[in-house]
Amino acid sequence: MNSFFSPLVKRENPYGKILPFPQISSMFPKKFMSHLDLINKFGLSSTAFLTSYDHYLYFHLRSDQESNSQASIAYVETPTAWVVAGDPVGPKHLWLTLLQQFIQTAFDHNKSPLLLPASKELVDLVRQEGLPSYILQIGQEPWIQLNERRHSSDFFKILPSAKKLQKQGGRVQEFNPLQATPQEFQTVEKLKEDWFQNRKCATLDFLNKVDLFKNHAQKKYFQLVYKGQCQAFLAAVPIPARQSWYLVDLMRSPNSVAGSSELLIIEAMAALKKIGAREVTLGLSPLTPELTSETPNHPNTYKMLHWIYNHFNNFYGFKSLAKFKEKFEPESWEAQYLIVFTPKLSGNLSLSVAGKSLLGLFYALFPKGILHTIIQTLKNSIAQFYPTESFQPFLSSQTILNPLPQQKHNWVLSLPVTWSFVFLILLSWTLNSATVSLGHWTTLLFSTFLLSSLIETFAGPHFMILPFIIGFFSNQLISHSLIQILPHLDFIHKTPLTFFNHLSLGVFAIFGSILVFLNTKTRIGIGLLLTSLVFLSSRSELSFNILIAILLGNFSTQYLLHFRNRRKVQRIQNHLSSF
Amino acid sequence: MAKTALLFESDLRSSQIITRFLNHVGYKSVLHSQNIENTQELILKFTHKIDLIIFSSAEHLDLESHHNFFNLIAQNRNLDLVPLIFIDCNPTPLFSQKNNKPIHFRIDRLLLRPFNLSHFSDGIIQAHQLRWEQRNHILVLNHAFIESNLFTKKENLGHWSQLHVFTDSKSFIEYFNRNKTKIGALILDPKSCDENITNWCLQLKKKTQDRSLPMVFLSRDPSLIQKFRLIGDLYIDHPQSSTTKLKSTSSMNWEELLSLISKRVLNAWPSRDLIMKTRRFIKTKPQKNIPSLLKKAFKLDENRWEFLLLAGLFAEKQGQRIKAINYFRNTLNFNPCAPLPYLKLVQLVDSPQEHKKLLHLALQYCPHHPQIQSLVSQFSSRGTLQ
């Protein structure tokens, strides 16, 4: 038996992005069809069908007599590694030979071979045959049985939001790309764009690449229509050897109603069951903490993975993804692994191999490189960053504040007083630029914008104007009241303050106002920090003035809070009753 | 029965906090709604259970949505008695920009964001009070009562503007159903109550929105008020009147009675709030706040039997026996059907003769109360109480 390594062939879809859709057999070269044929015959893993996408290279195992491949491996080439996408496709007795030849070829090309996600069966084979490797469980895959014992009504019982949506008129329809109109395609494309825009992480490649209408003839598509609009879209890819389907590209509109994804999946499962599907999978839940059987082998690595699972949810929704899949109460969770093949027999991972593999994995997931990934992630994070939203967990649960504006541009426009303050500071800066350093002005401008925008959003402009005015004139208040009573207080700044000082005291008073709306824990934390900072910084002559400004801001806000809902409301009520 | 509030709020965080506030002030059940369709569905399903509506305005809700909501409430006659609180947003949609007229007249109380629990509970109290102030008709069912000279001293009648006297139950019920939103209290002479009106009264008290409507019975005769012992708010002997054909059995006159009911109705919500707070404090150890609460309570209504009962319980806890006995006896003057004062008095008095008297009364007014029954059987078998 000979094997050969097929070189990378860049294939462009000749028909553009989405339209029209000819039969696949006429579209692709023979070499590619061979892999697809193998998938259709031997595809056991959920990811097998996805390896028929354009960005993979294939390593085939062929006999001399036959031109067709007997088994194949789909992989991507990165600068340091060859990263295999899932189990080999072909008869199981050929897996070992194919793997051995692939590993050898990879090392010959000075590349580190690694494979993910690998099934338990493959891992057992690798261990049994003693292939030098480093094996790590990277997650679990939920499988839902579509047998007579479980009906759609059972899913509706455990997912009431889906049932509610169905009652309200949410309908799931099969989407046929061959019969769909250009408008329908545009809607799906728009949904896809919105879906990607809502992610903080840079777009993932490898098995996470979304190519909705690739090999569409073998896929099934479903869409959720609610009030005449497509709210969510789902693609299902076949797992032929298992008579199962993988519900892969689930996308929903950011404004979709609760239960959209759940209803779409339930109805899609019912439709697939009708055409003979035995089970469906929702795909890998990466880094789920239930990695018990493998943990003793590499305890520190699993600790690290667990830490990533707990702390990197803003970057990639590990927890939310796992919880969503758990909601369907799958019958089984199949473990999925990462196998890094090592050159030595020991099976220990050397630093160079680990480095090469990690880099290879990174390039497989983010083929455009580190810099591009960082820039894209930053760009997405900035686009989705809503300062007030991040501030919300620190707010008091004892006060009902204004809700956040639904759109970011509305939020920016709804801050007239903040912008006036910023303008005032800029104007003062240009007039007094010589007296105070650039750093001080920048700090004042930045803090004014941050504090004012927060208080104006959550509480309204009154809660910043009054404290600011009081803080601005707080020094005069102290001079005319406190110092008259206690003339020996040396630590109070008695000399006239500059305009900059007055402005900064006004901003400190706004800070004092914000404290009223914070939860106790945050308030105590900030209060302690601020007090210690003010008293430790013995250089600042204004320390006491700052504390007084904060306190005045705080008290004035508390008074305003009381006044608005007692007297002002009474006035409006009287006005109401006069009509 | 748990009180139910309908909350229209699209912001999840605010919705969670308001729900907590509602639970704190006694609304154990909160119906959440985020859009008009959902509200409609909830109203259809729970019309008779809702006794507070809170509408929270938001930036994304246009004027039409506001109108739709208020029209939905206005169209449902069953919600006429339910107070409505409007939570304003900035900029306020409360007044039309064209003519500065309010968008709807149905608003009972306005709340401006930001607000806290104290503003919120005050708001609920005021909204309820406002609704009750509008219910200024009082109905009397009395087979031989002459109406004419009752309003001679109008300043003593509280907020009642109209008093309607009926001699037959049919016209009484008909009038009630026609003018339900205006009626603030019912005065019934048990002698005039046939089976029809008795059943009607019992049914009325089962409805959430009518549960708080005070029913005053003009008798303290246990045989007459036995059917009504669980639904009456006050039991007063027949008041004095120069025009009545019936012989008065009370030192109270009609004007005093109407003033008493008026106080009870108008202060119902602040009283409820005080009762809840005092009960909470009595149950827990630190009791230093109770005297000030009771002081406030008696300032509101010195004749409210619930306050007298609480004052008795507090005096008993403080070891002030005589004071406690007086409070419990006073409680029984206004509501002889309350079982707790009997049980407490039996513990506080020593003489077996007093015990006998009290148990005799208790058995007459609360014949089915298990604790009273057990005390009676203990007394009759041993001739004394342990």
Nearest to B231 by CA among B213, B210, B205, B209: B205
Q: What is the CATH number of domain B137-262?
A: 3.40.50.2300
Q: Residue A378 corresponds to which tokens in the numbers above?
A: 């930053």
Partners of residue B106 in chain A, C-beta under 8 Å: none
For residue A257, the chain B residue with the least C-alpha distance is B34
Tell me, yes or no, whether A466 lies in a domain: yes
Q: What is the pLDDT of residue B25?
A: 86
**pLDDT band with cut points at 50, 70 and 90 for residue B98:** low
Task: Reply yes or no on whether the pLDDT at B94 is more than 80.
Answer: no
A270 in B contact zone (CB under 8 Å): no
Give the whole-angstrom CA distance, residue B187 versus residue B214: 8
What is the mean pLDDT of the segment spanning B97-103?
63
DSSP alpha helices (H): ranges in chain B? 12-24, 36-46, 63-75, 117-133, 169-178, 195-204, 222-225, 254-266, 268-283, 290-300, 305-317, 321-334, 339-348, 352-365, 370-382
Which is more confident, A495 or B346?
B346
Task: Reply yes or no on whether the pLDDT at A31 is more than 50.
Answer: no
CB B53 within 8 A of CB B79: yes
Asked if B115 and A566 come within 8 Å (Cβ–Cβ), the reply is no
Same domain, yes or no, for A523 and A414? yes
**pLDDT band with cut points at 50, 70 and 90 for residue A339:** very high
> How far away is chain B from the Cα of A459, in angstroms, using its nearest Cα?
6
Q: What is the pLDDT of residue A26?
A: 34
Q: What is the pLDDT of residue A470?
A: 92
Same domain, yes or no, for A441 and A514? yes
Same domain, yes or no, for A422 and A567? yes
Asked if A399 and B115 come within 8 Å (Cβ–Cβ), the reply is yes
Give the whole-angstrom CA distance, residue A232 versus residue A267: 12
What is the mean pLDDT of the segment spanning A463-474?
92
Partners of residue A566 in chain B, C-beta under 8 Å: 119, 122
Domain limits at A23?
1-118+350-385
Q: What is the pLDDT of residue A510?
A: 94
Same domain, yes or no, for A444 and A357? no
Q: What is the pLDDT of residue A449?
A: 92
Picking from A400, A569, A572, the nearest residue to B17 by CB comes out as: A400
Give the whole-angstrom CA distance, residue A268 versus residue A271: 5
Quickly list DSSP for A454-481.
Answer: HHHHHT-THHHHHHHHHHHTHHHHIIII
Tell me, yes or no, whether A285 lies in a domain: no
Residue where a domain stops, chosen among A385, A404, A435: A385
Nearest to A220 by CA among A252, A177, A251: A177
pLDDT exceeding 70 applies to what percent of chain B?
87
What is the mean pLDDT of the segment spanning B36-50?
88
Same domain, yes or no, for A376 and A482? no
- Which tens digits make up the pLDDT trace of A68-82? 667 889 999 998 999
Partners of residue A568 in chain B, C-beta under 8 Å: 112
Same domain, yes or no, for A364 and A404? no
- Which tens digits make up the pLDDT trace of A115-144? 989 999 999 999 898 888 888 888 899 999
Nearest to A26 by CA among A17, A16, A18, A15: A15
**pLDDT band with cut points at 50, 70 and 90 for residue B11:** confident
Asked if A397 and B60 come within 8 Å (Cβ–Cβ), the reply is no
- Angle, CA of B29, B184 and B69, to the nearest 5°: 45
Asked if B119 and A459 come within 8 Å (Cβ–Cβ), the reply is no
CB within 8 Å of A279: residues ≥ 6 apart: A143, A144, A145, A146, A242, A243, A244, A331
Same domain, yes or no, for A421 and A464? yes
Tell me, yes or no, whether A565 lies in a domain: yes
Tell me, yes or no, whether A79 lies in a domain: yes
**pLDDT band with cut points at 50, 70 and 90 for residue A554:** very high
Same domain, yes or no, for A377 and A406? no
Q: What is the pLDDT of residue A264?
A: 93
CB B274 within 8 A of CB B293: yes
Partners of residue B113 in chain A, C-beta under 8 Å: 400-402, 459-460
* Structural domain spans, chain B: 4-133, 137-262, 268-382
Q: Tell me: domain B268-382, CATH 1.25.40.10, correct?
A: yes
- Which tens digits make up the pLDDT trace of A226-278? 988 898 999 999 998 888 999 998 999 888 888 999 999 999 999 999 988 99
Quickly list DSSP for A380-398.
Answer: HHHHH--HHHHHGGGB-TT
Tell me, yes or no, whether A438 lies in a domain: yes
Asked if B90 and A404 come within 8 Å (Cβ–Cβ), the reply is no
The mean-pLDDT minimum among A311-315, B2-6, B141-145, B306-310 falls in B141-145
Same domain, yes or no, for A380 and A526? no
Same domain, yes or no, for A373 and A484? no
Give the whole-angstrom CA distance, residue A149 versus residue A164: 23
Give the total number of structural domains in chain A: 2
**pLDDT band with cut points at 50, 70 and 90 for residue A488:** low
A573 in B contact zone (CB under 8 Å): yes
Q: What is the pLDDT of residue B242?
A: 56
Asked if A401 and B107 come within 8 Å (Cβ–Cβ), the reply is no
Q: What is the pLDDT of residue A23?
A: 32
Other beta carbons less than 10 A from residue A477's beta carbon = 14
In this chain, the answer to whether the domains covering B4-133 and B137-262 adopt an identical fold is: yes
Mean pLDDT rounded to a whole number for chain A: 82
Give the whole-angstrom CA distance, residue B203 versus residue B196: 11
- Which tens digits make up the pLDDT trace of B66-75? 888 888 888 8
3-42 in A: which are within 8 Å (CB) of B? Answer: none
Task: State the architecture of B4-133 in CATH terms.
Answer: 3-Layer(aba) Sandwich (3.40)
CATH number, domain of A84, equals 3.40.630
**pLDDT band with cut points at 50, 70 and 90 for residue A21:** very low
Q: What is the pLDDT of residue B165?
A: 83
Q: Which of A406, A515, A565, A566 is best to mutate for the B interface (most B CBs within 10 A)?
A: A565
Tell me, yes or no, whether A27 lies in a domain: yes
Asked if A573 and B14 come within 8 Å (Cβ–Cβ), the reply is no
Task: Reply yes or no on whether the pLDDT at A295 is more than 80.
Answer: no
**pLDDT band with cut points at 50, 70 and 90 for residue B272:** confident
Tell me, yes or no, whether A177 lies in a domain: no
Decide: helix, strand or coil at residue B308: helix
Give the whole-angstrom CA distance, residue B232 versus residue A39: 80
Decide: helix, strand or coil at residue A141: strand
**pLDDT band with cut points at 50, 70 and 90 for residue B148:** very low
Same domain, yes or no, for A378 and A489? no
